[in-house]
Structure 1
Amino acid sequence: MNDAYPIGYVMTGPVAALGDAGAVSAMHKRPVHDVVRVTTTGLATDAQADLKVHGGPEKAIHHYPFDHYAAWRAELPARPVLDEPGAFGENLSTQGLVETGVAVGDVFRLGSAVLQVSQGRQPCWKLNLRFDTRDMALRLQQSGRTGWYYRVLEEGDVSPGDRLERIDRVTPAWTIERVWRVFYIDRLDYDALSAMAELPTLAESWRRHARRRLESKSVEDWSKRLTGKDASQA
């Protein structure tokens, strides 16, 4: 399989203040210029502000396509944060690889490390502060331009200029776009939810969501994740 993409940027960042409300985030990613160790919990020089919802083995590395930036600039003009990669807190930036062409379970070699796509991104309210846009998290969710996460199958090193090479496809029918559609568009497609609940390459937290929808016959409330407030406060 010859399916390789140049890495535009490898990015990491510290925990820092975000907006004027006293929130903190590690969304401020900047390009690295040296070799970085890829571990099972992410890039060695990276950080996450809230480990309850960010980071961890199933969200070790975040990939956001630079391909989407033009659409966001058209939709949200005069946002300096969109002037360069890193606006969405991504660790990897590429062109030519988007949600319709990436599937849960896809295996990639990054430098000497081996990664596997684990899930799409569920945007949170801190994006609203990052973009100074009240409904940015909701916009990202509705757009389908969410990016995705990797788990690390083999630790290794990555350098600026390395390629991201796809070396295996385990569940190619389950693209990130398809998973997004089941979760956010066709939200009570019980056949698709049943299949997703048993998809071994999908992160357990997403399979658990699918099982809960099947059991409750309803969709979970996203208010707190998207706005930072419970439904009664939103």
Structure 2
Amino acid sequence: MKIIATNLGEPKEIVYKKKKVTTGIFKFPVDVPVFLDVEKVKNDAICDTKWHGGILQAIYGYSAKHYDFWKPKFPDLDWQFGIFGENLTIEDLDETKIHVGDTFKVGEAILEATLQRNPCYKLGVRFDNMKIVKQFWNTTFCGVYFKVIQTGYVKVGDVFELVKTNPVNPTIADLYHKEKLEKRITNEN
């Protein structure tokens, strides 16, 4: 796995259901190394700190391979890396093979896989189509949140080197399936 794109966003005000909301999901590739800090990528907008950023969700990675699945479903979009709100677009990030606690050295940083990303309406706003939210739930292509064990710069081309694996822990996809099931049960009651 290697970094294909590093993506940053500015705060952007949108209107959703007649309410003004500020979001950082509009991320775009940058041509400079980015600094992975303890709670976020330096110079990246995180507007909803209840659900994004913080120690367990400091960095969001998404697989470049998943783009091949999504592009035919939304052919009219201006496809650029970062469209899923990811900080790092990674060559072949596989949520079914990465376990919670797996640790990677990348660039100057050390990252630990922590959580799945659950989609919300802001992904639909970014795609200008709310169908993406349900479609996103119906895949294992959730992406991976990482905790920053060692801060540092990363850049395009840096390789994720597995430092430690935790095969007894659930995979990120396992967490995602569990969350979907719990959400479905909650909505049925």
Q: Same fold (TM over 0.5)?
A: yes
Q: Residue 120 in 1 paired to residue 116 in 2? A: yes
SS of equivalent residue, structure 2 residue 22: strand
Of the three residues 57, 60, 84, the one matched with 1:59 is: 57
Say if 2:4 and 2:88, in contact at 8 Å, map to a contact too: yes
Q: CA RMSD in A?
A: 2.3
- CA shift at 1:52, angstroms? 1.9
SS of equivalent residue, structure 1 residue 87: coil
- CA shift at 1:36, angstroms? 2.4
Gaps of 5+ in 2: none
Match of 1:103 in 2: 99
Q: Pairwise mapping of residues 13-28 of structure 1 onto structure 2 (< 5 A)?
A: 13-18=9-14, 22-28=20-26
CA distance, structure 1, for counterparts of residue 124 and residue 93 of structure 2? 25
Q: Residue 77 in 1 paired to residue 90 in 2? A: no
Query: For residue 28 of structure 1, what is the amino acid of its counterpart?
Result: F
Q: Residue 91 in 1 paired to residue 57 in 2? A: no
Q: Residue 12 in 1 paired to residue 1 in 2? A: no
Q: Which has the larger radius of gyration?
A: 1
Say if 1:62 and 1:91, in contact at 8 Å, map to a contact too: yes
CA distance, structure 2, for counterparts of residue 172 and residue 64 of structure 1? 23
Of the three residues 30, 33, 46, the one matched with 1:32 is: 30
CA distance, structure 1, for counterparts of residue 171 and residue 15 of structure 2? 34
Of the three residues 181, 185, 188, the one matched with 1:219 is: 185
Say if 2:102 and 2:112, in contact at 8 Å, map to a contact too: yes
Match of 1:49 in 2: 47
More helix by share: 1
CA distance, structure 2, for counterparts of residue 18 and residue 90 of structure 1? 19
Deviating runs (4+, > 4 A) in structure 1? Answer: none
Query: For residue 73 of structure 2, what is the amino acid of its counterpart?
Result: E
CA distance, structure 2, for counterparts of residue 102 and residue 66 of structure 1? 16
CA distance, structure 1, for counterparts of residue 93 and residue 150 of structure 2? 22
Of the three residues 132, 136, 144, the one matched with 1:136 is: 132
Percent of aligned pairs with the same amino acid:
29
TM-score norm. by structure 1 comes to: 0.72
CA distance, structure 1, for counterparts of residue 49 and residue 81 of structure 2? 23
- CA shift at 1:172, angstroms? 5.0
CA distance, structure 1, for counterparts of residue 33 and residue 77 of structure 2? 31
CA distance, structure 1, for counterparts of residue 69 and residue 154 of structure 2? 29
Query: For residue 179 of structure 1, what is the amino acid of its counterpart?
Result: L
Gaps of 5+ in 1: 188-208, 210-217, 223-234
Q: Residue 159 in 1 paired to residue 155 in 2? A: yes
- CA shift at 1:79, angstroms? 1.9
SS of equivalent residue, structure 1 residue 8: strand
State the aligned residue count: 187
- CA shift at 1:120, angstroms? 0.3
Say if 1:108 and 1:116, in contact at 8 Å, map to a contact too: yes
SS of equivalent residue, structure 2 residue 53: coil
Say if 1:111 and 1:159, in contact at 8 Å, map to a contact too: yes
CA distance, structure 2, for counterparts of residue 32 and residue 16 of structure 1? 17
CA distance, structure 2, for counterparts of residue 19 and residue 131 of structure 1? 14
